[in-house]
Structure 1
Amino acid sequence: MTSANLRKAMKTYIQNLREKVGTDLLLCPGVAAVIHNAEGQILLQEKASGEGWSLPAGAIELGEPPEEAIMREVMEETGFPVLIDRILGVFGGKEFRYTYPNGDQVEYVVTLFRCRIVGAQKPILDGETKSLRYFSDADMPPLALPYPRSLLFGR
């Protein structure tokens, strides 16, 4: 069994914590990707849960470096292999609190990476992803977390 399959077979760190604390607020380290196409539009993921649109993003697992976490999350949620260009910023605090539809509360500390797609570009939608789409600054829907638009669009 590969380490990726083993990780999926095991409960995640967050799932284990949730069994102990229920839906109470958790501080959670996460990663998010800013990915642009040739026209400068940003790639967003529409959540299958009805939460709306977000950057490709997710939690960092125990023992996982943030750089590996963002590459894993983008691949899992989009099917796109990426390389990291640079860190755009680290965000957190009350503005980065979120309550999921099931009532789970989190306060994220997010490392925001600028990434670029490399290799085969075949979107694979997982159970978390309803659709993927590129948006311009003018037509981008609201996101659950308040990333600075100036960083999202490189102004």
Structure 2
Amino acid sequence: MGMSDYYKDLREKIGDQLIFMPSVAGIIRNDQDFILFGRKHHEDVWGLVAGAIELGESPAEAMTREAKEETGLDIVPERIIGVYGGKERRYTYSNGHQVEYLTIVFDCRVISGELDRENDEFAELVFFPEDQLPSTAIKYPEHIFKANGERADF
């Protein structure tokens, strides 16, 4: 889907300035317990399936929508792994847009669908084993990637 009308209107008013963005991210695993990561078009770094929470949308609804748009998979957000924010969650996109994310990370279960490796959001979608995770644009605590790791880190 790309940027929503809400964020497009906001960017028209403030340009590339830093904005605060409530968002979601998902730990989506396959049958081998590998975690799904994507690399966006024209970006070198990887990221979790993630996106902004839109006006009127619950965090769980946002996670479900983002997963479908970015991967073609239908998922269920089963539990919150953690909530992360602060200066270390700042990112500048290749177009100059600056954001500081407040991210709710969900453990997600795939219920149906086929992985769509050719979509508008990601150039690549790959499942990685826990011991071979790629470097990511936004940093998260390592324990969120462990299948039996701690949950709820605020």
TM (norm. structure 1) is: 0.88
What is the correspondence of 1:1-155 to structure 2 with a 5 Å cutoff?
Answer: 12-123=5-116, 125-154=118-147, 155=149
Structure 2: gaps of 5 or more residues:
150-154
After superposition, what is the alpha-carbon deviation per residue over 1:79-129, rounded to whole angstroms, capped at 9, x for unaligned? 000011101111000000000001000000000011011123242532121
Q: Percent identity?
A: 43
More strand by proportion, 1 or 2?
2
Equivalents in 1 of 2:4, 2:108: separation in Å?
28
* Number of residue-to-residue matches in the alignment: 147
Equivalents in 2 of 1:16, 1:130: separation in Å?
26
SS of the counterpart of 1:76? helix
Instruction: Please report how far the alpha carbon of residue 11 of structure 1 lies from its aligned counterpart in structure 2 after TM superposition.
Output: 5.0
SS of the counterpart of 1:81? strand
Runs of 4+ in 1 over 6 A off after TM superposition: none
Asked whether the 8 Å contact 2:20–2:102 carries over to 1, the reply is: yes
TM (norm. structure 2) is: 0.89
Instruction: Please report how far the alpha carbon of residue 47 of structure 1 lies from its aligned counterpart in structure 2 after TM superposition.
Output: 0.9
Asked whether the 8 Å contact 1:33–1:112 carries over to 2, the reply is: yes
Equivalents in 2 of 1:99, 1:39: separation in Å?
33
